[in-house]
């Protein structure tokens, strides 16, 4: 794939990893991902970020279509995570740039990752700006969105905002712009990316978007470090989507997620779902035998309720349930109604442990945890239907 022109003398020079299926801990589904780097040809030729180490030669090849790598004057490191800086040592060795710009925390991260002896690092902070000729680079620190070193670069002359991981999606495609791909799939991948990476930083997301809006930046192009780029009306679409994700307003949707050994907990899940649906909720039943914890979080982001079931196994939860709850806890979902259920044989600790885990995440628990000995009888399943109704009513009241 050759470089892609965004505007005159501004090009995408990144890489597409078609077969990526795991992205530092979560499943990327069948779509792979991209590592976006950008090159500006001006009086000072400037490269923004690099790619994973194994794509170094591909990056150099794309650059060579535009300029000799040695003609690059500046490198801007918006984010030091290895999928964006893995190629950096080799690029620095070949380019020998005049300056490498990064945030204050970026300098610390570069020194922690690499031997930067002799690197011409120049630290920039929010509000700092430099000229590269006909263009200006203005820097905005975006700490903890999603690493301490993260920053964005704004180019007012082209109305371009390079956002590093913010607004990204894991999509491997020959198309490079949002208006060239299916909108429903794009939205799904934005949800999945946000839910599995950015979610715990939602308060920071809101603050930074508000800061950008207060600065009155005119943005015609929004260029993330993963997935497709946004231009024209799609810029507003991406920003509004992030506002909605970050707000985490509860909706009339419930996720019932469970694992089961001999189908007893599965029967309870289906009964709970019946009760939830009777209150007008959209319900997603997710069996951890066949879905990944990343799939669960994709659904949880826009859900008002999360109901979790596990049979008791060795005095605790089944491993897949424990894994999912640990993963979810780290992502800090907010404004959720919770519920816990499951079967047991002789000890029955799992349901209590599930309830405690959900409560520890700040979820409201309008019903007591429910459990059944071995196999729930037909008449006993009515309790689980009623549990679903009660949770459904709480969601409707909360969602308004």
CA gap 238, 178 in Å, rounded: 10
| pLDDT tens per residue across span 160-202 | 999 988 998 988 889 999 999 999 999 999 999 999 999 999 9
**pLDDT score of 289 more than 80:** yes
CA gap 251, 335 in Å, rounded: 10
- 165: annotated active-site residue: yes
- In the set 17, 83, 266, 279, the catalytic residue is 83
- In the set 26, 38, 193, 237, the catalytic residue is 193
Residue 20 has a pLDDT of 65
- 242: annotated active-site residue: no
**What are the extents of the domains in the chain?**
4-247, 253-393
Token look-up 């918006």 returns 78
Averaged pLDDT for residues 129-150: 94
Output the CA–CA distances (angstroms, integers) from residue 91 to 51, 85, 86, 104, in the order listed: 10, 10, 10, 21
- 313: annotated active-site residue: no
What percent of the chain stands above pLDDT 70?
98
- In the set 73, 149, 158, 165, the catalytic residue is 165
Residue 374 has a pLDDT of 83
Confidence of residue 338 (pLDDT cuts 50, 70, 90): very high
- 146: annotated active-site residue: yes
- Its pTM stands at 0.92
CATH number of 253-393: 3.40.50.360
- 83: annotated active-site residue: yes
- In the set 11, 84, 226, 313, the catalytic residue is 226
Residue 82 has a pLDDT of 84
- In the set 146, 154, 225, 298, the catalytic residue is 146
- In the set 81, 234, 292, 295, the catalytic residue is 81
Among 174, 162, 133, 169, which Cα is nearest to 221's? 162
Q: Which residues, including other chains, have CB under 8 Å from residue 100's CB and lie 6 or more apart? A: 74, 75, 76, 77, 92, 110, 119, 120, 121, 122
- Top CATH class of 4-247 equals alpha beta
Strand pairing partners for 253?
282
CA gap 251, 300 in Å, rounded: 10
Residue 28 has a pLDDT of 67
| Same fold for the pair 4-247 and 253-393 | no
User: Would you state the structure tokens that stand for residue 129, as one six-digit string?
Assistant: 């700006």
CA gap 326, 170 in Å, rounded: 23
- 226: annotated active-site residue: yes
């Amino acid at each position: 794939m050759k470089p892609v022109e965004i505007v005159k003398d501004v090009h995408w020079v990144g890489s597409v990893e078609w077969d990526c299926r795991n992205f530092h801990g979560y499943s990327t589904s069948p779509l792979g991902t991209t590592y976006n780097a950008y090159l500006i040809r001006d009086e000072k030729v400037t490269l923004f970020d690099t790619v994973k180490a194994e794509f170094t030669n591909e990056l150099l090849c794309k650059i060579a279509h535009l300029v000799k790598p040695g003609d690059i004057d500046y490198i801007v490191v918006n984010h030091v995570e290895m999928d964006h800086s893995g190629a950096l040592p080799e690029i620095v060795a070949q380019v020998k740039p005049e300056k490498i710009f990064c945030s204050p925390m970026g300098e610390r991260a570069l020194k922690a990752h690499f031997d930067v002896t002799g690197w011409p690092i120049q630290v920039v902070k929010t509000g700092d700006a430099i000229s590269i000729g006909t263009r200006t680079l203005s820097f905005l620190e975006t700490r903890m969105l999603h690493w301490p070193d993260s920053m964005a670069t704004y180019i007012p002359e082209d109305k371009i905002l390079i956002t590093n991981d913010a607004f990204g999606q894991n999509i491997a495609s020959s198309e490079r712009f949002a208006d060239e791909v299916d909108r429903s799939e794009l939205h799904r991948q934005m949800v999945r990316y946000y839910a599995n990476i950015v979610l715990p930083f939602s308060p920071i997301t809101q603050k930074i978007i508000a800061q950008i809006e207060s600065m009155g930046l005119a943005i015609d192009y929004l260029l993330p470090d993963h997935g497709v780029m946004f231009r024209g009306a799609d810029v507003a679409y991406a920003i509004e989507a992030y506002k909605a994700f970050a707000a985490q307003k509860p909706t009339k949707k419930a996720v019932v997620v469970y694992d089961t050994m001999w189908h007893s907990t599965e029967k309870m899940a289906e009964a709970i779902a019946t009760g939830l649906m009777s209150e007008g909720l959209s319900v997603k039943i997710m069996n951890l035998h066949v879905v990944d914890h990343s799939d669960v979080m994709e659904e949880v982001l826009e859900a008002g309720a999360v109901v979790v079931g596990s049979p008791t196994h060795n005095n605790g939860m089944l491993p897949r349930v424990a894994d999912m709850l640990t993963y979810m806890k780290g992502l800090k979902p907010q404004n959720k109604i919770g519920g816990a259920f499951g079967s047991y044989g002789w000890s029955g600790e799992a349901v209590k442990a599930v309830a405690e885990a959900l409560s520890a995440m700040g979820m409201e628990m309008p019903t007591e945890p429910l459990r059944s000995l071995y196999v729930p009888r037909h008449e006993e399943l009515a309790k689980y239907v009623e549990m679903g109704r009660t949770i459904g009513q709480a969601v409707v009241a909360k969602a308004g």
